[in-house]
Structure 1
Amino acid sequence: MSTLNKKILVISSDRNDIAFVEAAHEMGLYVICCDRYKDWRVSPSKMIADEAWDIDYSKTEEIAKKCIENNVDGVIAGYGEDRVTAACRISKRIGKPFYATEEQISMTRDKRLFKKMCEKTGVPTPKDYSLSGDGSENGFDQIVFPVIVKPSDNGGRKGISICNNVDELRTAIPYALDYSAKKKIVIEEYLVGIELCAVYTFSDGYISLSCLNDKYISEDTGGAKLCDAVLTPSKYYEKFVQDVHPGIVKLIETLGLENGMANFQLIANKNGIYAFEMGLRVNGNDDFKVIRKNNGIDFMKLIINYSITGKMGNDLAQDDPRFERYYGTFCAFVNAGTIGKISIGKITENENIYDITYLHSEGDVVANTGTNAHKAMMFKFVGKTIRDIQDTISFIQDNLIVHDIQGMNMLMKTFNVKRLD
Structure 2
Amino acid sequence: MRHRLLILGSLTEFVLITRMAKERGFFTVVCDANENGPAKAFADRAYHINVEKTDEIAVICKKEKIDGIITSFSDRLFECMVKIAAKAELKCYLTPDKLDYYRNKIIMKDMLTQLKISTPSYRNLRPDFQLHDLEDIQFPVVAKPVDKYGSRGIYVLNQPEEIRRYFHDICKTSEIKEILIEEYNPGYEFNMMSWVLDGKVHVLSIADREKTEIEPGRIPISTRNVYPSRLMEDVYAEASTILQKVASYTQQKEGALSMQFFWRPGEPVQVCEIAGRFFGYEHELVEYSSGLSIEKLLLDYVYDEPSLRRDLSAHSPWFSRCSAVLYFHGRETDIMDESEAVSLSKEEDIENSILFYKEGERISPENPRPYVARYYITGDTREAVDKRTKEIFHKMTIKNTAGEEVLYRNRVPEYPAR
Instruction: Tell me the TM-score normalized by structure 2.
Output: 0.87
The yes-or-no answer on 1:387 pairing with 2:380 is no
For structure 1, list consecutive stretches of 5 or more residues without a partner in the other structure.
none
The CA distance in 1 between the partners of 2:367 and 2:231, in whole Å, is 28
* Cα 1:397–1:238 shift into 2, 3 Å: closer
The CA distance in 2 between the partners of 1:88 and 1:311, in whole Å, is 23
Q: State the shift of 1:340 in Å.
A: 6.0
> Which among 270, 273, 276 is matched to residue 272 of structure 2?
276
Q: Secondary structure at the match of 1:143?
A: coil
CA contact (8 A) 2:288 2:378 kept: no
The yes-or-no answer on 1:209 pairing with 2:198 is no
Q: State the shift of 1:387 in Å.
A: 3.3
> Which among 109, 129, 138 is matched to residue 136 of structure 1?
129
The CA distance in 1 between the partners of 2:129 and 2:205, in whole Å, is 39
Percentage identity across aligned positions?
20
* Cα 1:28–1:361 shift into 2, 3 Å: farther
> Which among 145, 150, 171 is matched to residue 177 of structure 1?
171
The yes-or-no answer on 1:17 pairing with 2:24 is no
Q: State the shift of 1:310 in Å.
A: 7.2
2:371 is aligned to 375
Q: Secondary structure at the match of 1:293?
A: helix
CA contact (8 A) 1:332 1:376 kept: yes
1:231 is aligned to 226
Relative CO higher for 1 or 2, CA cutoff 8 Å, sep ≥ 6? 1
Alignment of 1:249-398 (within 5 A): 249-270=244-265, 271-286=267-282, 288-308=283-303, 313-315=308-310, 316-337=312-333, 342=338, 343-351=341-349, 353-357=350-354, 359-360=356-357, 366-368=363-365, 373-397=369-393
Q: Residue type of the partner of 1:336?
A: E
Q: State the shift of 1:299 in Å.
A: 3.0
Cα-to-partner distance string for 1:331-389 (whole Å, 9 max, x where unaligned): 122333455665521543333x3333555556765433798x34133322222334311
CA contact (8 A) 2:33 2:51 kept: yes
* Cα 1:33–1:358 shift into 2, 3 Å: farther
* Cα 1:407–1:419 shift into 2, 3 Å: farther
Q: State the shift of 1:268 in Å.
A: 1.5
Q: Residue type of the partner of 1:20?
A: I
CA contact (8 A) 1:57 1:63 kept: yes
The CA distance in 2 between the partners of 1:32 and 1:184, in whole Å, is 37
The CA distance in 1 between the partners of 2:363 and 2:13, in whole Å, is 16
Q: Residue type of the partner of 1:349?
A: E
Q: Secondary structure at the match of 1:150?
A: strand
The CA distance in 2 between the partners of 1:160 and 1:312, in whole Å, is 40
> What is the number of equivalent residue pairs in this alignment?
410
Q: Residue type of the partner of 1:72?
A: I
Instruction: Tell me the TM-score normalized by structure 1.
Output: 0.86
Q: Residue type of the partner of 1:296?
A: G
The yes-or-no answer on 1:57 pairing with 2:54 is no
The CA distance in 2 between the partners of 1:188 and 1:249, in whole Å, is 24
Cα-to-partner distance string for 1:73-130 (whole Å, 9 max, x where unaligned): 22222232222222222222222111222223321111211122222333211112x1
Q: State the shift of 1:277 in Å.
A: 0.5
Q: State the shift of 1:147 in Å.
A: 1.0
The CA distance in 2 between the partners of 1:6 and 1:358, in whole Å, is 35
The CA distance in 1 between the partners of 2:93 and 2:335, in whole Å, is 38
The CA distance in 2 between the partners of 1:52 and 1:311, in whole Å, is 30
Q: Secondary structure at the match of 1:88?
A: helix
1:120 is aligned to 114
CA contact (8 A) 2:284 2:294 kept: no
CA contact (8 A) 1:81 1:105 kept: no
CA contact (8 A) 1:336 1:410 kept: no
Q: State the shift of 1:330 in Å.
A: 0.7
Q: Residue type of the partner of 2:384?
A: D
